Amino acid sequence: MTGSFIGNDWAEPVDGQFEDIINPATEAVYGVATVGSVKDCDKAIAAARKAFDTGPWRRMSFRDRARKMEQLHTALMARSDEIIDMIIAEAGCARAEAAGLLFAIPLQQLAADIEEAYRREEVQPLPYMVNPGWGGDKVLGAGVKQRVPVGVVAAITPFNAGFFLNVVKSSAALITGNSVVLKPSPYTPFQAWILAETIRELDFPPGVFNVVTGGVDVAQLLTTDPRVDMVSFTGSDAVGSAIMAQAAPTLKRLLLELGGKSALIVREDADLDVAAGSAFWNITCETGQGCCLFTRHIVHNKIKDAFIEKMTAMASTANVGDPSDPAVTVGPLIRAKERDRVAGMVDAAVADGAKVVFGGKRPAHLDKGFFYEPTLLTNVDNSAVIARKEIFGPVGIVMGFDTDEEALAIANDSEFGLGGGVISSDRGRAFEMALQLDAGFIVNNEGPGAKHPAAPFGGFKRSGYGRESGTEGLDAYTDLKSIVFRAG
């Protein structure tokens, strides 16, 4: 299980490059990975193009593809312990979080079930209608419409939630009849290779699923090559902007799930245990390395101090360390440079007047690993850099408000619009406020971990466009074709 996966087989890198994959908790070498080049990527694109243009996959019925995908999901679930251990070692997730990322498998299986329920016929008839013809005569028209695959899909995934996104993107693209070239993060290639290995064992048609590793040059080929019809990308807004520019000359379909600076509004009538628990989970889940995590905590001034006290108590019981230990609840950041970047942002915020409630430093008891303590800041204005920019680390900020209108204004004053939430005992008011949040995925009275399997996921503004999951997440990988004709 190494190298590029092209045409249902493993291939050593053309340029013969390898690199160590580091366990971020121990700094030890987890494994040696091949580094793909543009030559390897070119071969993967060619295999995917051939599979789509001449292979059987796109010509199979949706039901037949769904049955094949069900085999894949069943086989992956059978390897769940192996996958969890891999996520822990490669990405540094705590065990419970790593297990949660396996939710991608039943999520995508349910998406297939939903698709079956909505589209029992792949070709759907249009109603008979009388329309004026070009010459003014009346014409009885009929027709059909059909969802068809886009073509070759490049799926580019990040290190955080790598396995989850590998499955979500690839499954949605495959079940709708496309062929895929998956490029995982250079930090977490094994989470893509285990998917490829499982597909190989199930004898999928050659070329419908391919994996190529590598860096920016490989990604740029995927975003510019005219043989690629669509790019599905999860990552930063800066890279998303670059992909848009690179893909423009070939007018590729894009699905972009980008950065976030999501806000959690805690009303005066909120259950403080629920509110503080949700807020603390949001700054520690995946060590804060999640695009949708709620890191701006907008709390009613009358309960703000009590909210902070509860979060502080939770921080005192957090167990930061090597996530291979089941007792550990907070793991490391992915690399030293990311830890140092987060520390620099916190230090700069403090220099600008922010107050550290807890955390704000590296754990003294850990001499190895890329750790940073869960951190909470107050005395931060929404105009501050740390309130505007994505931190991607275990850092939250608390800001106060007096009225619902003020809370909504603070929450919406962001260039991002991925997620948000409202915690209130008044469900009706919480729903009304959710409708006014400028974000694509809102969770009330919980955290973003409360994902609804049928809910489409994606953002507004600089958080990207397009949707993953649900039927909308399947439609994203299709084109809609209409065929009309004279009836009778």
Tokens of 216: 């920016």
Judge whether 257 counts as a catalytic residue. Answer: yes
Ranges of beta strands (E only) in 267-353 are 294-300
| 100 phi-psi bin (left φ>0, alpha ψ -120 to 50, beta other) | alpha
Helices (H), 130-254: 162-175, 190-201, 216-224, 237-247
Q: Sheet containing 262-266: which strands, arranged edge to edge? A: 355-358, 375-378, 395-401, 294-300, 262-266, 419-423, 441-442
Cα–Cα distance for residue pair 395/358, rounded to 1 Å? 10
Cβ count within 10 A of residue 328: 18
Cβ count within 10 A of residue 234: 26
User: Which phi and psi angles does 287 have, rounded to 5°?
Assistant: 55, 40
Which of 257, 373, 390, 468 is an active site residue? 257
Ranges of beta strands (E only) in 119-227 are 123-132, 138-149, 152-156, 179-183, 209-211
Cβ count within 10 A of residue 58: 19
Cα–Cα distance for residue pair 72/56, rounded to 1 Å? 18
Contact between 298 and 410 under an 8 Å Cβ cutoff? The reply is: yes
Catalytic positions, please? Answer: 257
